[in-house]
Amino acid sequence: MHLKEVKGLLSPTNGMNISRGCIHGCIYCDARSKCYDMRHDFEDVEIKTNAPALLEDALKRKRKKCMVGTGAMSDPYIPIPENLANIRACLEIIERHGCGLAIQTKSNLILRDLELLIKINEKSKCVVETTLTTYDEALCKIIEPNVCTTKARFEMLKTMRDNDIKTIVWISPLLPFINDTAENLRGLLQYCVEAKVYGIINFGIGLTLREGDREYYYQKLDEHFPGLKQRYQQKYGNSYQLMSDNNAALMHEFYTVCDKYDIVYGPEKLFGYMRTYDKHEAIQFDLFGAY
């Protein structure tokens, strides 16, 4: 880990990452890709020491309250004390300014800040996102080794449900020849139904790989699934999108379950929901089918 003062934090669409890099170790992590131009080892997490001060300053200057998004490129609950202190400070600032929050994490450490999330949700709106890729706990420890397993994330989702905080699950990626099965998808959807999630983001059954994360992914395939790298190379070459042969059948099942249980699934609709500040506006947005 290393500390760094940065120049800016909030993007034009009010997204922020309070750190760069991650130690959760997901074997398919896109944030490792070379295109992001990280100038340090991915595991040598860069903590933005002045993130709370920059956020305070940015929110003070806003004319309108907004949703703040975090967690897209690095997990806000990486278990490093300086990082955990920073995310709590940022949540306090968001709450104090009456802004909304859309926060994405794979870690149930977020429960530590539950009281703050409840307060944000009472004042404006809080949406918690997590990723579920495998129903199989043993497989989860291989493909997402340093963060809590799917079952713990499911428990976290239920806690949010019980506190009226809306949740969105990313079912992505499902890895060809590993967990792109009907059995796995059904298990994950069952968790989503039980946790009464608001929406599921799913771009199709498969994964994306590009320079930087492809090498890491293949190295992990060699370690844990001997022979599978060669199968991938034969089938997909250097493609960016690696679609599963089971995509059509599994997506059909996905849509059927979502429709049956009123789970929202259009990614644009869900991104729109997370960007919409006011709870009332959000409801109208749905009613008029803006997306």
Least CB distance to ligand SF4 at residue 148 (A): 11
Cβ 22 to ligand SF4, closest distance in Å?
3
140 or 264, CB closer to ligand SF4?
Answer: 140
Least distance in Å: CB of 105 to ligand SF4? 8
Q: Which is nearer to ligand SF4, 36 or 236 (CB)?
A: 36
d(CA 194, CA 186): 12
CA distances (Å), origin 241, targets 28, 212, 222, 236, 286: 13, 15, 20, 8, 31
Q: For residue 71, how many other CB atoms are within 10 A of its CB?
A: 24
Of 22 and 54, the one with the shorter C-beta distance to ligand SF4 is 22
Q: Which is nearer to ligand SF4, 145 or 291 (CB)?
A: 145
Q: Which is nearer to ligand SF4, 147 or 258 (CB)?
A: 147
Give the residue carrying structure tokens 């809306």. Answer: 166
Among residues 204, 227, 172, 167, the alpha carbon closest in space to that of 30 is found at: 172
Give SS3 for 133: coil
Shortest distance (Å) from residue 278 CB to ligand SF4: 29
Contacts of 59 by beta carbon, 8 Å cutoff, 6+ apart? 68, 93, 94, 97, 99
Q: How far is the CB of 281 from ligand SF4 (least distance, A)?
A: 30
Positions in the binding site for ligand SF4 (CB under 6 A): 22, 24-26, 29, 31, 74-75, 106, 147
